[in-house]
Amino acid sequence: MTAREPENPGRWSGLLDALSEHERSALTDSMRGSRPRVLIEEALRENWLEIWYQPKIDLRRKCLAGAEALARIHHPTQGVLLPQDFLPDVDDAGVVLLTEHAMLATLRDWTTFDEAGFNLHLAINVPVSVLLKLPVPSLVRDNRPQADHWPGLIVEVTEDQIARDIVLAAEIAKQLKVSGVSVSIDDFGGGYSSFASLRELPFAELKLDHSFVQGCAVEGTNGAICQTAIDLAHRFGSVAVAEGIENVADLQALQVMRCDFGQGVLLAPPMPKERFIALLNSRMNRPKADSPQLSGEVGQVA
């Protein structure tokens, strides 16, 4: 099979126009509220566990760049449950099972997206403790898509976990890279990693902590932290990703700061795989003249 170039960014322009305000509100509402907890073992046994995807948007080219895989439990009577509804009751063994299930599902879903015509770079959250217990390199090698144009998998690890043992994190990152897995430092800004220690870690992304992203347009300290993190990522030859973008002002500020990618409910909430594919297909089938923007909100400021 010959290698294939990434999708034409023009195809992704206006991506989120297809998501109506009603649908966006409904998907966002599914992330709120207090729900009874459900044990992860029961969810796995009953096939209630689902992998949802939140689009990652290229803030410079204004096109879809990939998606982050997020675990949800679709309970038959309680509806969609968020991680805070089930993760507090999960022991170490359960976290390993959950991560393995999510990783295998994400690798399979890439093939589903690819067969539908979408070559996406997918990311998944994995605790360092799981990386020590789960044979991720062999798991990916044995289950990775065989397409030559597979862009690899991104593993997101929080900065506070990496900062605890930067030497170990660097060794894990090197092992993962051989299998086509790159490391993203998640929630960057709260883990107090030194610049010297980051220099030793082969990371692909810095994800700005949402607590700094929110209000970065008006809060001087938050804006300064975001700008510093973005510049740092670029100096290390990596990219910066802002998560938790909720308003246009912050989005505009991040674009001025030359942030590479963004996620947040302003752009798109997490959504089930089927809805994500339907959304992408709806954009692909629209005339190019009808696709000038990422979304109504973004188009007004881009």
Check whether 283 has a pLDDT greater than 60.
Answer: yes
Check whether 105 has a pLDDT greater than 70.
Answer: yes
Q: What's residue 143's pLDDT? A: 96
DSSP-assigned letters across all residues of 118-145: ---EEEEE--HHHHHHS-HHHHHHHHS-
What confidence category does residue 166 fall into, taking pLDDT thresholds of 50, 70 and 90? confident
Domain ranges of the chain: 10-286
Q: What is the mean pLDDT of the chain?
A: 82
Count the Cβ atoms, other than its own, within 10 Å of residue 176: 23
- Single-letter amino acid code for the residue at 33: G
Alpha-carbon span 146 to 58, nearest angstrom: 26
Q: What's residue 54's pLDDT? A: 96
Alpha-carbon span 244 to 173, nearest angstrom: 25
Alpha-carbon span 214 to 147, nearest angstrom: 38
Q: What's residue 299's pLDDT? A: 31
- Assign domain 10-286 to its CATH architecture: Alpha-Beta Barrel (3.20)
Count the Cβ atoms, other than its own, within 10 Å of residue 196: 8
pLDDT in tens, 200-254: 788 899 999 999 999 999 999 999 999 999 999 999 999 999 999 999 999 999 9
pLDDT in tens, 25-43: 555 555 545 556 677 888 8
What confidence category does residue 70 fall into, taking pLDDT thresholds of 50, 70 and 90? very high
Mean pLDDT of 272-295: 65
Mean pLDDT of 130-144: 93
* Three-class SS state of 220: helix
Helix (H) or strand (E) holding 49: strand 49-58
Q: What's residue 271's pLDDT? A: 96
Instruction: Quote the pTM value.
Output: 0.83
Percent over 70 (pLDDT), the chain = 78
- Single-letter amino acid code for the residue at 119: N
